[in-house]
Amino acid sequence: MQSAHDAGIATTTVTAFPTVLFAGDASVLVEIKAVAADYPLRGRLKTATEANGAQSNARAPDPGNLYLDARALAALETRVGSEVEIGNAKLRIAGILTEDPEGAGSFLTLAPRALLRDVDVAQLGLLGPASRAFHRVLLAGDTRAVEAWADAVRPQLQGQRLTLARDAEQQLAEVGRQTRAFFGLSALAVLWLAALAIALTARRYTEARREVVAQLRCFGLSRRRILLQMGATLGLFGLPAILAGIALGYGLQAVIALGVGSILVETLPQPGPQAAALGALVGVLAYLSFTFPALSRLAATPPSSLLRQGEDKMGAREWLAYPAALGVLTLAVWLLTGEGQLGLIALAGMSALALALGGVMWVLLKLLRKRVPGRSFVLRQALRQFASRPGTTLLSSVSLALALAAVLLLGVVAGDLVRQWRLGLSTDTPNRFLLNIQPEQVEPLRQQFAQLGIVDPQFFPFAVGRLVAINGQPASAARYPDPRAARFLDGNLNLSWSDALPEANRLTSGQWWSAGDEVSIAENWATIFNLGVGDRITISIGDRQIEARVANVRSVDWDSFRVNFFLLYKPATVAGLESTWVTSVRTGAEQARQLGPLLRAYPNVTLIDVDALLTRILGIVDAVIRSLSAIFWCALAAAACVLVAALAVSAGARRFESALWRSLGASRKTLQRTQWIELGSVGAMGGGFGGLAALATGWALAERVFQIDYAPPWWLALAGAALGAGLSLLAGWLVLRGVTSAPPADALRAGAA
């Protein structure tokens, strides 16, 4: 710090550690930040006197006072001006902490914060030898002076970490990149489906105007002029849709903000005009890209087409125009999100899934065309129509399948997986962790636990160190391809020592302790650094370096919620090392209530309520799932648009077919039933396959990620089929409700024309 002062750089210190606050019978786990009087060097502290009240600028709290997070205030059921017990002291709540410049980059947090003065830490009695606390020195000054000082100091660091503003910005940039990547992927899914609906609608529009364009060509209008006129007409249709899409985007932002509001420290900023401009740009690009092939084909209609009947088939150039338009749209999302690789992977993945679903459905259609079961005319005719339009059927069904798979996966399967994982925790799974236990407190705590009915909890010594060498060579992240290696080398390693192999651990190679300095390593940690039995690692702990031979490799059940370590040393290897102790216990409701008064006698001990943390984490998961579901409901709406557009394209042919059947004696009611069965079959097939895809994805996640015995909700396939059928019938009612009502003579004349 002196060298920083000499360079004209201002400094201040921060000490952070977890502890428990008490107010009467209530308690809450918080993150303490002990700061100096000149905190903060940059930015402003803001406090309020009541929740959601007016904020005011503040300085560091006076000695004997603290600022408390609103969540902690609510948990303690207290208010500003009251006192809370913290360690051996009582401090007054001087305000509600609403803004902390050092924590501005962290908008998600599990533990509420408490800000107090560094001069109060000593009287709290919370930090003893080997207690776990994080000490930071904050610096502020001219950018060039700070960077020059950092370059000079960095080679002298021994276990400390130096982070400049640009480094923190890079970390935030990575979080932002991942967030943009996901929303870019969601935008791609919605855009591709919406673009498909645009293409189908443009095709129907241009098919209906082929005769008019052929007449205009006879009168001498050029292809270019026709293209401009028709394009301007379509543009008038597209402008309101783009404006409605921008309004929908603002509404979706509000829905997402509402969904994640419970897990955000700060309020989500409202999107500005730039967001609307970008949305309009993508909308225009999608609209132009997917209407131009149909418009170009319409403008090229020859005058001789007046003498021909029947549909003008698309040529190879028009077919190739649509993949090109899809590529342009993907490129647009790439430019907006900076995720070109994601776009290509998503395009390939969705194409593969669509081809797989389409292939299965195609086989089903082939079978139906060869043999239609049943004797009922309505059923046989419905299934024949279902199979006679393979293009429309496949397009509608695959779009529904993809969208419903995403919605059902997030809306049902994801939450079901998390709930089954939590329910799958055994009844003896620990639900309380106790940290920062001093060595002389271990036996008294063990005896008091026994009085509460908590039988023989396992206590472990706990220390932190840094990996500095492997097999005599300095440990460098550049030597290991696994990205996790850098995190382990840059941060602290939790380690312990024990004579016996702990529960939830199993040897996979090597033997338990023998002669010499030895260490046992976790299997996943060994994989990261390519270590095995016989290798040697060196750990730096304070001013002491400990080299030990890898005696064995352990498989660790991290989901057991027992105390586990990456590194477990032979006790003789680390003799004399200072440490705190840690344990995990399982408590019932009554035992949990009795722990609060018990721990008042041990103010330095930190109690972590695993149940509360799990509830908080699952709340975050639920909030995120709800927000993401809102996005994928947009994908489902886009799939419904595809269905409507596909039905609109076939409406003319359906009207002609209905007229033929009515002229042959079929009743309007019979044709309507035929149409409903056909539409219901299309939607049920797409929705059923979507439900099966969601179930298959959920099963894969259960096996590979959660590693639980998952009982898939098979009813989801039926629910998907029912939802798909309902959407298809609704689309049919909107588009085709007048098809069977047209007089046969009029329909036949229109069809002949």
DSSP assignments along 50-91, one per residue = STT---EEE-SPPTTEEEEEHHHHHHHT--TT-EEEETTEEE
- Ranked by mean pLDDT, the top range of 274-288, 321-335, 468-482, 620-634 is 468-482
Strand pairing class (432-437; 459-470):
unpaired
pLDDT at 566: 92
Find the mean pLDDT for residues 79-102.
88
Q: What is the pLDDT of residues 337-369, one digit of tens each?
A: 555 555 565 566 666 766 777 777 777 767 766
Give me the chain's average pLDDT, please. 79
Residue 485 main-chain phi, psi, to 5 deg? -60, -40
Buried b (16+ CB within 10 A) or exposed e, 675-693: bbbbbbbbbbbbbbbbbbb
Residue 680 main-chain phi, psi, to 5 deg? -60, -35
Q: Which residue from 459, 460, 477 is spatially nearest to 468, judged by alpha carbons? A: 477
What does the alpha-carbon distance between residue 293 and residue 218 come to, in Å, rounded to a whole number?
22
The more confident residue out of 22 and 746 is: 22
Which residues 6+ apart lie within 8 Å of 353 measured at CB? 402, 693
Find the mean pLDDT for residues 475-479.
84
pLDDT at 677: 84
pLDDT at 461: 93
Residue 735 main-chain phi, psi, to 5 deg? -100, -35
For the cut 90, the answer to whether the pLDDT of residue 569 exceeds it is yes
pLDDT at 370: 66
Q: How far is CA 137 from the centre of its chain?
A: 33
For the cut 90, the answer to whether the pLDDT of residue 518 exceeds it is yes
CB 681 within 8 A of CB 399: no
Residue with tokens 């391809």: 481
pLDDT at 422: 66
Q: Which residue from 407, 264, 321, 335 is spatially nearest to 723, judged by alpha carbons? A: 407
CB 580 within 8 A of CB 131: yes
Residue % of the chain over a pLDDT of 90? 13
Q: What is the pLDDT of residues 34-79, one digit of tens each?
A: 999 989 888 788 898 887 677 788 889 999 999 998 888 888 888 8
| Cβ neighbours around 674 below 10 Å, total | 26
Q: What is the pLDDT of residues 164-182, one digit of tens each?
A: 766 655 555 555 565 566 6
- Ranked by mean pLDDT, the top range of 187-196, 229-238, 582-591, 617-626 is 582-591
Residue with tokens 């030990």: 548
CB 330 within 8 A of CB 344: yes
Assign 735 a pLDDT band (cuts: 50, 70, 90).
confident
What does the alpha-carbon distance between residue 292 and residue 212 come to, in Å, rounded to a whole number?
18
Alpha helices in 261-375 (DSSP H): 273-299, 316-337, 340-370
Find the mean pLDDT for residues 375-383.
69
For the cut 50, the answer to whether the pLDDT of residue 107 exceeds it is no
For the cut 90, the answer to whether the pLDDT of residue 470 exceeds it is yes
What does the alpha-carbon distance between residue 523 and residue 557 come to, in Å, rounded to a whole number?
10
Return the DSSP state at 608: E
Does the CA dihedral 746-748-751-753 come out positive or negative?
negative
Assign 106 a pLDDT band (cuts: 50, 70, 90).
very low
Residue with tokens 């636990």: 449
Cis before residue 461, ω within 30 degrees of 0? Answer: no
Return the DSSP state at 706: I
Assign 269 a pLDDT band (cuts: 50, 70, 90).
low
- Ranked by mean pLDDT, the top range of 15-19, 163-167, 367-371 is 15-19
Return the DSSP state at 740: G
- Where do the structural domains in the chain lie, given as residue ranges? 2-162, 176-338, 343-427+610-753, 455-585
pLDDT at 348: 65
What does the alpha-carbon distance between residue 700 and residue 690 come to, in Å, rounded to a whole number?
15
Find the mean pLDDT for residues 674-681.
84
Apex CA 324: angle with CA 341 and CA 184, to 5°? 35
- Ranked by mean pLDDT, the top range of 226-240, 430-444, 506-520 is 506-520
Find the mean pLDDT for residues 449-463.
86
Apex CA 556: angle with CA 555 and CA 557, to 5°? 125
Assign 257 a pLDDT band (cuts: 50, 70, 90).
confident
| Cβ neighbours around 277 below 10 Å, total | 11
Assign 102 a pLDDT band (cuts: 50, 70, 90).
confident
Least confident of 24-28, 655-659, 707-711: 707-711
Assign 108 a pLDDT band (cuts: 50, 70, 90).
very low
Query: 0.75 exceeded by the pTM?
Result: no
CB 507 within 8 A of CB 554: yes
Left, alpha or beta for 207 (phi > 0: left; psi -120 to 50: alpha)? alpha
Q: What is the pLDDT of residues 633-642, one digit of tens each?
A: 777 888 888 8
CB 130 within 8 A of CB 465: no
Q: How far is CA 287 from the centre of its chain?
A: 29
Residue with tokens 């990205």: 483
- Ranked by mean pLDDT, the top range of 55-59, 104-108, 709-713 is 55-59
What does the alpha-carbon distance between residue 212 and residue 467 come to, in Å, rounded to a whole number?
78
Find the mean pLDDT for residues 444-469.
87
If you count them, how many residues does the chain have? Answer: 753
Residue % of the chain over a pLDDT of 70? 80
